[in-house]
Amino acid sequence: MIKILKLNWKVYVMEAVCLGLFMISASLFATILEYPESHVRHAIPNSFFRLCMMGVAMGLTAIGITYSPMGRLSGAHMNPAITLSFLGLGKIKPADAFYYLVFQLAGGLIAICAMIFVLGDPFKDSHVNYVVTAPGKFGNIAAFIVEVLMSFGMMLIVLVASNHLRLSSYTGVIAGILVMSYVIVSAPISGFSINPARTIASAIPSGMYNSFWIYMTAPFLGMFSAAAIYKAVGAKTYCAKINHVNQYLCIFNCGYGKKSTVDGPRFSEYE
């Protein structure tokens, strides 16, 4: 384990940076849009319009991270449920998966702690609430169902797109559009998580564990189910990266290998 850590630590650190950047973006935009004394909130009194703006911001953040040098190196999982789903598909080694989970949690937690220091009381205000994920007015069951469905949809779309000849290079864009849509639709219902590390990162500093079980189970249930169905129908999984680019080191059980060119995968099975 120590040998693997020494060998791949740069990749793990980039994975931590990816989720950290996502959490920083979520914290900043949530504070700007929802803190009662924010000039932006006063200028945009319509809560649904602000929610749409939040969705767009997070979708663009996800896209930017995926196609950034950090995302291209680590694969931009940013989510333990995604990492463990790829582990089940045999695309990531157990030791690498372990360190991915550790660094995802560390990256998210460090980012939230930094935002507490930088943003101060506005970030702690009940309207922003450390960007904690919690069920909305429809209760726990509705939040659980929505989180399962969103997780299932995200993983299935990522697998289909990233292993498709024409869609593979657009996987990050498609996933970002999903994030945008999920934020707008699900935030009032579940708070939008689909990511245990993202939920833990906000819960620990805030001490708020409202219906914590939902966010520790639903993402895994949804994404594991999607991966199992994808595997059951015999679909091919080439790599565990959301956006595989040959110029970047790949530590996964990558199926590109000789089927790749400097311009990207040939996907010979589809031709």
Convert the pLDDT of each residue in 63-113 to its tens digit. 999 999 999 999 999 999 999 999 999 999 999 999 999 999 999 999 999
Task: Output the CA–CA distances (angstroms, integers) from residue 43 to 18, 31, 155, 174, 262, in the order listed.
Answer: 31, 14, 37, 31, 48
Q: What is the CATH number of the domain that holds 231?
A: 1.20.1080.10
267 assigned to some structural domain: no
47 assigned to some structural domain: yes
Tell me the pLDDT tens digit for each residue of 153-204: 999 999 999 999 889 999 999 999 999 999 999 999 999 999 999 999 999 9
Q: Indicate if the pLDDT at residue 217 is higher than 50.
A: yes
100 assigned to some structural domain: yes
The chain-wide mean pLDDT, for the chain, equals 92
Q: Which domain holds residue 146?
A: 2-262
In 3D space, the residue among 11, 116, 127, 131 whose CA is nearest the CA of residue 71 turns out to be: 11
183 assigned to some structural domain: yes
Q: How many domains does the chain have?
A: 1
- Compute the distance between CA of residue 237 and CA of residue 230 in angstroms, rounded to an integer: 9
- Compute the distance between CA of residue 95 and CA of residue 80 in angstroms, rounded to an integer: 14
271 assigned to some structural domain: no
133 assigned to some structural domain: yes
DSSP 245: -
186 assigned to some structural domain: yes
Q: What is the pTM of this model?
A: 0.91
269 assigned to some structural domain: no
